[in-house]
Chain A
Amino acid sequence: MRLSKFTKASVYTMVAAALTVGVLAGGEARAEDGQYVPGMVYRTGPYAPGGIPWADGYADYFTLLNERDGGIGGVKILYDECDSAYNNDKGVECYEKMKGQGPTGASAFQPLSTGISYAILDRVRADKIPLITSGLGRADASVGSVFPYVFTLPVTYWAGADAIVQYIGQQEKGALKGKKIALVYHDSAYGKEPIKTLEALAAKEGFELSLFPVPHPGLEQKATWLKIGRQLRPDYVIMWGWGVMNATALKEAAAVGFPMDHFIGVWWSGSEVDMNAAGAVAKGFKAAQFILPGNSFGVYKDLKTKVFDAGKAKGEAAEHGTVIYNRGLGAALLTAEGIKVAQDKFGKKPLTGEQIQWGVEHINLSPERLEQIGFSGMINPVKLSCNDHEGGGSVIITQWDGKEWQPASDWIMPRREGFLRPMYEESAMAYAKEKGITPRDCSKE
């Protein structure tokens, strides 16, 4: 009995000690001088298999900057994570918890979730913190005059949909009229994003578009694929999936004998994780990418010596060079570049979100700059301005050869002028009207 009491007392003491140490350590980290970068990631929940490599890539790039350069412009990066579990409520909690951390508050948020991006859209505007939705989020946020704190570089979903249709057009020698194209999509804000663009393209190019929503999480799609593969029999299927939905779709597509080389996914449907889960049937599947996989790019030289070999990598070596890990690296590059550009104007010191907004808005990742920082070939150049928060990025189609992604096209430039940009403007102005926002005059900035 006495021993039991002693054991209990010991446990309580250890817990109290651990909490005290944790609080002190946390306090010490917060008091440290540097630029605070929040990592709103998901390492748990149903979408963790895709969230983990992205989070690791995002974290590893800031570790590299700290280890190699002592941070950005000599200002150490204070990186911290909060797990949203791809859940909008938790995402908002993470945002509120992290926005005021560090000496000058959060630098920029990248939630890796269209739903969370929607949920914090008004908050980032009020708090003056940049929200970078790289390859996700709402496309009309590319209009900087209405969405000053949201950045969609290098491409939006609408741009991705246009690039995929352009690629299908190339395969069909320009003759899309009368063709049948099906869209299988995650029945969420994310999955519905390309519909408007595809409907406009169907009207413009003369193809017939059929829509197939798949409810979250997409564990069961047999009926959907019976309709597609055995009833509609489309010429091409485009997929806007995420998580377990992707592998399930690939397996069900194979089960109805749909040809994989006519099945094209958006970038969130095109990771090694999904292909490995689907197994041999995935061979031939295609996916649009805005960042290429591989570990032969310049940045990997320093990552290897300063992060991987030094035992400071967040994840396992097997994920290095995979497409989502590289997307995490690329996302971190955008935040880091925004801080760097802002430092050039405001000085090399910890900066506020408002100052970093200026930096992100003036990012110019030219071929020379990409070469200099080791990202040449992984991502195409982008240049932002006050009104253009997308920056003119491009898309490449890749094909799964059973082991890795191989390029199946050249870089495709989405048709922004005269097509996507007017759609962005129209949608953004409707949003501004609904929210009572007066668009800023970019001609004066």
Chain B
Amino acid sequence: MDFLYNILVAPFAMIGAAPSFFVEVLIGGLLSGVMYSLVALGFVLIFKASGVFNFAQGAMVLFAALFFAGFMDKGIPWYGALPLTVLVMLVLAMGIERVVLRPLVNQPHIILFMATIGVSYFLDGLGQTIWGSEMRVLNIGIPQNPINMGPIQVNAFDIVAAVVAGSLVAALALFFQYTRIGRALRAVADDHQAALSVGIPLKTIWAIVWTVAGVVGLVAGVMWGAKLGVQFSLAMVALKALPVLILGGFTSIPGAIVGGLIIGAGEKVAEVFWADAIGGGIEDWFAYMLALAFLLFRPQGLFGDKIIERV
């Protein structure tokens, strides 16, 4: 009986007693969700272009952040470190295309997925071999102080992160919608062989999309690195992106954003108002529960392509 009261009554009583706190938690959750979306975007890009779930996206976030922080440690200012890291990600993308993807063209997706697991381990090891496993501080001047807006308190860092993610999404949307490469990417995503037959260079497209995913990984790595320091744990932020992808759909950029917002807000509200009823610490797995529940009703996600099986 107590359990039912704690689940069905107490949380709403708490919200009713302090609505401004509820709004604060909600805003905090939405802003956290934006950080998850930043990571999820990289997955979406590669899935759109190749139908492959890139297990190495988390490792790419760490790899890019390690190079960016490493260059800055060598005395290179951020505006120099940024293009240099983009160059590294370009070389990496070309390498992955040449060594891993090209020999596997037209292989089943599960083979490509397995290959990305290998890439993930390789990148984890290579990044740490070059730059070491020590934590690197990444200070790019983003304020971290709380901002009071009446009774509501918001973290300045989260607001900056939201602006960065918003700009990135806008840029990607424009790129996919209005450029020849963007249209070619979408064609490749629909069907490799059909795209090849109309003269779209699959190898080039893959190299480009992996580079763009690397750049997205760089942005995510810089934002997460500025928040936590650049260290091995950054590779684990990919885990936060999985429920976002399930919710938003693997092929939709707006889906990654909306999914992130729902997951972020959902897990924060659940942790603050419902966790006590189940013993606390539900923030981490609540997102997966939400995603699982969602899978039952809409397996393709909110914005994913509708699944049509022809017999």
Contacts and interface: CB of A to CB of B under 8 A. Distances in A.
Contacts of B29: 222-223
A251 B281 CA distance: 19
B144 A230 contact: no
A320 interface: no
A279 B144 contact: yes
B144 A255 contact: yes
A213 B133 contact: no
Contacts of A187: 281
A254 B284 CA distance: 21
Contacts of A49: 133-135, 229, 231-232
Contacts of A255: 144-146, 155, 157-158
Given A222-B32, A255-B157, A244 B231 contact: yes
Contact of B272 (A214, A217, A227, A248): A227
- Interface size class for chain B? 35 or more
Contact of B237 (A45, A48, A219, A222): A219
A52 interface: yes
A224 B268 CA distance: 8
B227 interface: yes
Contacts of B144: 251, 254-255, 279-281
Contact of B280 (A212, A222, A273): A212
Nearest to B271: A223
A219 B240 contact: yes
Contact of B240 (A220, A280, A281): A220
Contacts of A280: 144
Given A46-B236, A215-B285, A244 B228 contact: yes
Contacts of A243: 233
A256 B231 contact: no
B144 to A, nearest CB: 6
A281 B232 CA distance: 22
From A244, A255, A281, name the one whose CB has the most chain B CB atoms within 10 angstroms: A255
B64 interface: no
B56 interface: no
Contacts of B227: 248, 251
Nearest to B124: A44
Contacts of B71: none
A243 B133 CA distance: 12
A223 B155 CA distance: 13
A277 interface: yes
Nearest to A252: B155
Contacts of A21: none
B288 to A, nearest CB: 11
B280 A48 contact: no
B6 interface: no
A52 B268 contact: no
Contact of B229 (A214, A222, A227, A277): A277
B133 A44 contact: yes
Contacts of B231: 46, 48-49, 244, 277
B21 interface: yes
A230 B153 contact: yes
Interface in A194-226: 211-215, 217, 219-224, 226
B135 A273 contact: yes
Interface residues of A, number: 39
Interface string A154-189: 000000000000000000000000000000000100
Interface in B238-262: 240
Contacts of B139: 279
Contact of A226 (B157, B268, B281): B268
A48 B284 contact: no
Contacts of B280: 211-213
Interface in B15-33: 18, 21, 24-25, 28-29, 32
B284 A220 contact: yes
Contacts of B229: 49, 244, 247, 276-277
A256 B152 CA distance: 10
Given A48-B133, A219-B233, A226 B155 contact: no
Interface in B264-299: 267-268, 271-272, 275, 280-281, 283-285
A320 B29 CA distance: 40
B25 A223 contact: yes
A277 B281 CA distance: 24
A231 interface: yes
A219 B32 contact: no
B135 A217 contact: no
A48 B267 contact: no
A347 interface: no
A22 interface: no
Contacts of B21: 226, 230-231
A257 B153 contact: yes
Contacts of B232: 44-46, 48-49
Contacts of A45: 232
Nearest to A42: B133
A235 to B, nearest CB: 20
Nearest to A254: B144
From B29, B153, B267, name the one whose CB has the most chain A CB atoms within 10 angstroms: B153
B181 interface: no
A43 interface: yes
A49 B134 CA distance: 5
A214 B29 CA distance: 17
A230 B155 CA distance: 13
Contact of B236 (A219, A251, A257): A219
B194 to A, nearest CB: 35
B240 A226 contact: no
Nearest to B284: A215
A281 B142 CA distance: 13
B137 interface: yes
A146 to B, nearest CB: 30
A52 B281 contact: no
A191 B272 CA distance: 21
A224 B227 CA distance: 17
Contact of A223 (B236, B237, B272): B272
A213 B284 CA distance: 11
Given A48-B128, A49-B133, A220-B32, 6 more contacts: A48-B133, A220-B240, A226-B268, A244-B231, A254-B146, A255-B155
5 contacts: A213-B281, A220-B32, A226-B24, A230-B21, A257-B153
Interface of A: 43-46, 48-49, 52, 187, 211-215, 217, 219-224, 226-227, 230-231, 243-244, 247-248, 251, 254-257, 273, 276-277, 279-281
Cβ-closest 4 pairs across A and B? A277-B229, A223-B271, A213-B281, A49-B135
